[in-house]
Amino acid sequence: MTKRQAVMLVCLLWLRYAGSASGQEMAKRTEASENFVVGTITAAPGTRASGFLEVPKGTDAGTRIPVTVIRGIKPGPVLALIAGTHGYEYSPILAMQRFPAKVDPRELAGTIIVVHVANMPSFLGRTIYYSPVDGKNLNRVYPGKDDGTVSERIAASITREVIDRADYLVDLHCGDGNEALRPYSYWEAVGTPELNEKTRQMVLAFGLDHIVIETERPADLAKTVYTSNTAIRRGKPAITTETGLLGRVDTNGTDLAEAGVFNLLRHFKMLSGEPQRVEHPIWIDRSEVLRSPVTGIFHARVQPDQAVAKGTLLGVLTDFFGNAVQEVRAPFAGVVLYIVATPPVSQGEPLGMVGHLKPE
């Protein structure tokens, strides 16, 4: 072979190699050398950058969403991590406070978008479930709207700036300020079989052993309602996780959230090493959130993670004079995933959630 022939062969081999990579992979390879921009936040490869997504004033006051972008030096997917969809859920919020400093962008393949506190009005206002500004639940108004109330404008901003930019998403929750909860994840099996399998692998990689199978989520792109469903309906595998409880600042829920996120980074090969997947998942094939028929005071009689039989007394509702009004019982045998453990309840609000264990 002459030198000229050898050069031609190398060129041909290179063309063939380059041609075999999908357009998407090629795009990602190119992207890794470019800045990643979220709102006014620009992260160069191998760096972290933080700033705010501004949610402008509308019919009510505006707000800001604190975001950190960690841009790896190597090509890879974009993972979005959202904490503080509910502002009284502190464990994942605190996990995402310390998380960015623990990721070396020079070791990272791909990009991480961290939403530190999605719902700032609820966080600063110390409210469970609802925004103190518009009374809406941020995790019920997706994909949001730019001309709506503040919760809807937050959702619209996150849909556009975070969900639409991501390849994968985790919505990190915990028991709200009133909920005693045992850790679990949701596997929302509402996409295509291929998407559902990717999502299943994500919940197993995240590492929580109790996994609620959710099969009913709205398909209408204009009314996706939930954060994770909004991602899934846009073709992006997403999970919701629950670690922590009762507005506590304890290390357990925070550590579980952080460990789960690092497991996912290894699962996606964004960091080196193997994730600690759940070895013996407990699949919850049916679950029910029990809602209060009255406004009054709830006295829980069970603990989270407690096994219950059908009919086990979960708690008693009383009026404001201490008179028993109604007993609340388990609708079927299973495990208490969470139970409201502080006194006030309004009609229609959750009292607890019971999960039925899928037979092996």
Interface residue list for Zn ion (CB under 5 A): 86, 173
> Mapping DSSP to helix (H, G, I), strand (E, B) and coil, where does residue 139 land?
helix
Minimal distance, residue 95 CB to Zn ion, in Å: 14
- Dist. CA 338–CA 91, nearest whole Å: 15
Tokens standing for residue 321: 């004079």
Nearest residue to 120 (alpha-carbon basis) of 161, 61, 166: 61
Cα 74–Cα 78–Cα 82 angle in degrees, nearest 5: 135
Nearer to Zn ion, 86 or 153 (CB): 86
Nearer to Zn ion, 173 or 267 (CB): 173
Minimal distance, residue 17 CB to Zn ion, in Å: 46
Tokens standing for residue 52: 């705010």
Nearer to Zn ion, 77 or 177 (CB): 177
Nearer to Zn ion, 99 or 226 (CB): 226
Minimal distance, residue 173 CB to Zn ion, in Å: 3
Q: Do β-strands 210-214 and 282-291 pair in parallel, antiparallel, or remain unpaired?
A: parallel
Minimal distance, residue 94 CB to Zn ion, in Å: 15
Taking the alpha carbons at both ends of the chain, their separation in whole angstroms is 63
Minimal distance, residue 252 CB to Zn ion, in Å: 17
Phi, psi of 163 (to 5 degrees): -65, -45
Nearest residue to 230 (alpha-carbon basis) of 148, 150, 144: 144
Check if the beta carbon of residue 138 is closer than 8 Å to that of residue 151: yes
Minimal distance, residue 352 CB to Zn ion, in Å: 15
Q: Do β-strands 47-55 and 334-340 pair in parallel, antiparallel, or remain unpaired?
A: unpaired
Q: Which segments of the chain does DSSP mark as H helices, in order?
A: 3-20, 23-31, 90-98, 120-125, 150-161, 193-206, 227-233, 251-267
Nearer to Zn ion, 166 or 174 (CB): 174
Nearer to Zn ion, 32 or 65 (CB): 65
